[in-house]
Structures are given as C-alpha cells and as structure tokens.
Amino acid sequence: MPETTTDDVRARIVDAAARLLRDEGARAVTTRAVAQAASVQAPTIYRLFGDKDGLVEAVAEHVMATYVGAKQAAVAGAADADVDPVTDLRDGWRLHVEFGMANPDLYALLSSVGRPQPSPATRAGIEVLRARVRRLAAAGLLRVDEERALGLIHAAGTGTVIALLETPADQRDLGLVDAAYDAVAAAILVDEPARPDDARPTTAAVTLAAVLPELPGLSEAERALMAEWLTRSVALLRS
C-alpha cells in the first residue's frame, strides 16, 4: 500500500474544503467540517495551513489555478490559431463572468478589498488578460495604452460580476454582461486597425510598442531606447 505523503494529505484537505465551499458556501468551511470531510484531525489543518484563513487561501489558489490554466490555454490557442483578438477578448470576458457566477463565494473572497495583495492565481489571471491586450495592441486596435486598457477591463469585469452577485438571482439583468463589455470596448478599441498613415498618435505609439520586440535590425540597446521613447510618449498622450 503506497505511503501517504504530506502533499497527499494537503491535497485531500484542499479538495474537501473546495467541495464545501462550492456546495454549501463560505460559512460551511469550518476547521471541524473540513477535517471531518477530509478524514483528518483538526490539528493537521493547523499544522499544514496555519489557520482557517490559510486553508481558505489554499482553496482559492487551487480553484483559481485550474481556471487560470484553462484561460492560459485559451489565449495560447487563440494566438496559434490566429483568432481575431477582439473575439478572443469578448470570449475571455464571458468566461470571467461565468466563473464568478459559478463560484460566488470564492469570487467574493478573491475580490475582497481587504486582501493585503492579490493572490498568485489572481495575478496569473491578470497576466492572461495582459496577453490578450497585447494582441489587440499588436493588431493596431487600441485607442489607449495597454496599461489603461488592462485596468479598464479588469475593473469593469470585476464590477460586473460583483453587481450581478449582489442582485437576487431572479432579478439579475444578464444583459449587463454584454452591455458592460460593449462600453469597455468602445472606450479602448478603435473601429478598424491602424494604418501606417494613421493620424491617431496613441494608437500608432501603442501598436509600435507592442511589436517592437519583433522588429528586425535593431540592437538590444536601440530597442530599449525606442521602448523608453514610446513609453514616455504614451504617458504624455494619456495625460
């Protein structure tokens, strides 16, 4: 019979807590309930996770890591298949909302303003969004710089999910999902890709910055200098 390792026990506890969170809500995730569901003693949970907050954080990482992994695969697949970056962004927006609606207690935990810093899984999710924004920039489709676009999408997506979760299920306006996306898209996207003679300086600068790593014939020093110039220009255009 194979020996049970600490990692095995830890995984079993996290799985049990995740099931309780999903099926019965955050209040059901007590040390006693998790210990019983995982067939361990309560002191084992304290030894492995420190306290209940440490356990809940581990559950959040577990569930979010699975979700983020799926998003990362979707972004990579979209890039490989040359999927339209706007379609990719909309699909990612809907996936984000679907996750929040399917995991309300976990989403509320991850989105809490009282958290000292975003969890690693949350930060990984933002990096996936950053990759989507970079594809838009490289295609000449952004009217704002990448950081502004990233911030707007992240803030609006989080706000949309929280607004829906705070509304009774039978009163939710699900049309808010697409309406909020359309509002963000109008704020960050141009109607058509930038052309070489494009008169929109922000779009031109953002596009050039996005494709700079792929430009041939430049030394690393020249590339770094050009990146500095573009960053400075974009910052002034934003102000």
Phi-psi region of 215 (alpha: psi -120 to 50; beta: other; left: phi over 0): beta
Residue 174 predicted with pLDDT over 90: yes
Least confident of 131-140, 162-171, 211-220: 211-220
Looking at per-residue confidence, does 195 or 35 come out higher?
35
List the one residue out of 189, 162, 177 whose CA is nearest residue 105: 162
**Euclidean distance between CA atoms 132 and 153, whole angstroms:** 11
Look at residue 188 in the predicted model and tell me its pLDDT: 94
Does an H or E element contain 139, and which? none
> Considering only CA atoms, which of 83, 63, 100 is closest in space to residue 176?
100
Distance CA 15, CA 79 (A): 33
Q: Where is average pLDDT lowest: 96-100, 125-129, 152-156, 234-238?
A: 234-238
Q: Give the Cα separation of 204 and 229 in Å (integer).
A: 13
Cβ atoms 89, 186 nearer than 8 A: no
147 closest CA partner among 165, 160, 133, 128: 133
Give dist(CA 162, CA 150) in Å, integer: 18
Q: Residue holding tokens 């009282």?
A: 114
Of 61 and 99, which is predicted with more confidence?
99
Let me know if 112 is exposed, middle or buried by CB neighbors in 10 A (0-12, 13-18, 19+).
exposed
pLDDT at position 81 is 66
* CB-count exposure of residue 37 (10 Å: 0-12, 13-18, 19+): middle
Of 1-15, 18-32, 87-101, 174-188, the least confident? 1-15
Contacts of residues 72-75 at CB distance under 8 Å and 24 or more positions apart, as own/partner, are 72/124, 72/128, 75/128, 75/131, 75/132
User: Residue 1's pLDDT is what?
Assistant: 38
pLDDT tier, 121 (very low <50, low <70, confident <90, very high otherwise): low
The position carrying tokens 């050009």 is 226
SS3 174: coil
Rounded-to-integer distance, Cα 125 and Cα 197, Å: 35
Q: Which domains does the chain have, with CATH numbers?
A: 1-50 (1.10.10.60), 57-195 (1.10.357.10)
Residue 180 · residue 160 · CB < 8 Å: yes
| pLDDT top residue among 89 and 63 | 89
